[in-house]
Structure 1
Amino acid sequence: MNTINIRIANLEDLDQIAAVDCAVIQNDSRKLILKKAIQEQKCLVGELSGKIEGFLTFHTDFFECSFISLVIVSPSARRKGLASRLIKEFIGQSPTEKVFSSTNESNIPMQKVFDSLGFEQSGIVHNLDEGDPEMIYFIRQ
């Protein structure tokens, strides 16, 4: 059984975080965004057996509420509870009572994660990704 450890990211983690992100989106276009999140202490990492296999980034300027902007898990580490643990850890330490996040309508696995954690749907945004609406989710801390 893999041991999951969740902690706040530091700059020494940037290359590993960016590598996980690149494995998922097939480019490194978000590396500067990830660096900024780390510098602002708005990035959590998830380690499986000591290796960074996932991360979560957030911000707190979504109508003065927390918004989980990214939950990324390495393809080889999926279905091991890492995304759920990252989200639960964040909810437990969220600086705001209300926590929002979103996923595409086509992302059924992420919708199942939100449902399993008690999030409720809070709306849909069209026209972000053509033909794949963004579903907004909400939970109260």
Structure 2
Amino acid sequence: MHIRLAGLQDLPALIAIDTVTRQDPQRAEQIADWLGQYRCLVAEIQGKVAAYAVMHRHFFGCAFIEMLMVGENHRRAGLGAALLACIQADCRGQKLFTLTNRSNAPMRRLLERQGFVASGVVENLDEGDPEQIYCWRLDQSERPPVATGHR
């Protein structure tokens, strides 16, 4: 696995692995916007994009993971954890937030394994499926998570 910054050249690969684009064609435009505006990382397996993460600092002045997407053929292989670990390493000493639907048990488990704690709920974004907010902050006495990929 290799983790690197994403660029506009990665747009077709990100669209291909993003499961939301199948139901919402406007998602491709959203991904292009993310690539142009925010910090985007990709995880590659044998030179091919297999996962990506998007982070910005527009959540009440704090770092926020806007998206973490692992291609369907690469799930449960540690790519999400490696991308999270890279972002966490960059956010040492700062608060880092993200959110996920309550129904997304695999993502909730991943966040909890990476040291995130539940920090609130947002209702009414997805009808009947509230968003759980998570926060991570590295205390001075803690060690940062171990990244399994290369930067």
Do they fold alike, i.e. is TM over 0.5? yes
Q: Supply the AA of the counterpart residue of 1:31.
A: A
Q: Which residue of 2 aligns with 1:35?
A: 32
Instruction: Name stretches of at least 5 consecutive residues in structure 1 with no aligned partner.
Output: none
User: Which residues in structure 2 correspond to 1:1-141 (within 5 Å)?
Assistant: 4-21=1-18, 24-25=19-20, 26-27=22-23, 28-94=25-91, 97-141=94-138
**CA drift at 1:45:** 0.6
Change (3 A) 1:96 1:61: farther
Q: Distance in 2 between matches of 1:128 and 1:75?
A: 24
Q: What's the secondary structure of 1:121's corresponding residue?
A: strand
Q: Supply the AA of the counterpart residue of 2:126.
A: D
Q: What's the secondary structure of 1:34's corresponding residue?
A: helix
Q: Supply the AA of the counterpart residue of 2:132.
A: M
Q: Distance in 2 between matches of 1:95 and 1:10?
A: 24
Moved over 4 A (4+): none
Q: Distance in 2 between matches of 1:61 and 1:131?
A: 26
Q: Distance in 2 between matches of 1:113 and 1:125?
A: 20
TM-score (norm 2): 0.85
Instruction: Tell whether the 8 Å contact from 2:38 to 2:54 is kept in structure 1 after alignment.
Output: no
RMSD: 1.5
**CA drift at 1:41:** 4.6
Change (3 A) 1:61 1:41: closer
Instruction: Name stretches of at least 5 consecutive residues in structure 2 with no aligned partner.
Output: 139-151
Q: Supply the AA of the counterpart residue of 1:68.
A: I
**CA drift at 1:11:** 1.1
Q: What's the secondary structure of 1:31's corresponding residue?
A: helix
Instruction: Tell whether the 8 Å contact from 1:11 to 1:35 is kept in structure 2 after alignment.
Output: yes
Q: Distance in 2 between matches of 1:105 and 1:29?
A: 24
> With CA pairs under 8 Å and 6+ residues apart, which has the higher RCO, 1 or 2?
2
Percent identical among aligned pairs is 38
Q: Distance in 1 between matches of 2:130 and 2:13?
A: 30
Q: Supply the AA of the counterpart residue of 1:117.
A: Q
Moved more, 89-98 or 112-121: 89-98
